[in-house]
Amino acid sequence: MRRLAKLDWMILDGIRNRLSCRFLDTVMPKISMLGNGGVIWLLSAAVLLFFDAKLGMRIFCGLGLGALLCNLIMKPLIRRMRPCWLNDEVMPIITTPTDFSFPSGHTLSSAIAATVLALAVPLYGWIAVPIAALIAFSRLYLYVHFPSDILSASLIGSAIGVVVCHIPLLA
């Protein structure tokens, strides 16, 4: 665990020290905002309900399952502190989140939706996956998640996406 923690800090501080600039300080909060509450993915699912109701429902179900697992079970159970809470030398450029860090909810919802979209319609995946990756990276850039929060949320979210794609009622 110490090696993982050391690697987390090394990556996080590397991003902060090497990539921090005025342009990204302006853009990354906006990209991150797309993932607030899974809003971009909820809107995508709502629009899809008119064109492909099953696909829209898969995304909604995946996001619901992800919110339940992440926000109601994992975060309160694991209670991992955020890097911006632990390193007071870094001044956050967004409002400091008040919930726990593990796993990243922004990344989880993005991975769920991107996986469902990519599996159902690969062309949609070419759009959704880069958006999901940018949202995930923004959480690192903004110093509100550790890389292991992001990686874990990506894996869990992808697994949830695969599962909801294989639920018979939604197939």
Closest to 139 (Cα-Cα) out of 66, 32, 14, 37: 32
pLDDT (tens place) for every residue of the chain, 171 residues total: 788 889 999 999 999 999 999 999 999 999 999 999 999 999 999 999 999 999 999 999 999 999 999 999 999 999 999 999 999 888 889 999 999 999 999 999 999 999 999 999 999 999 999 999 999 999 999 999 999 999 999 999 999 999 999 988 655
Q: If you classify domain 22-170 with CATH, what class do you get?
A: mainly alpha
**Helix (H, G, I), strand (E, B), or coil: what is residue 144?**
coil
**Helix (H, G, I), strand (E, B), or coil: what is residue 65?**
helix
Cα angle 155, 17, 40 (rounded to 5 degrees) comes to 40
Place of tokens 């990519």: 118
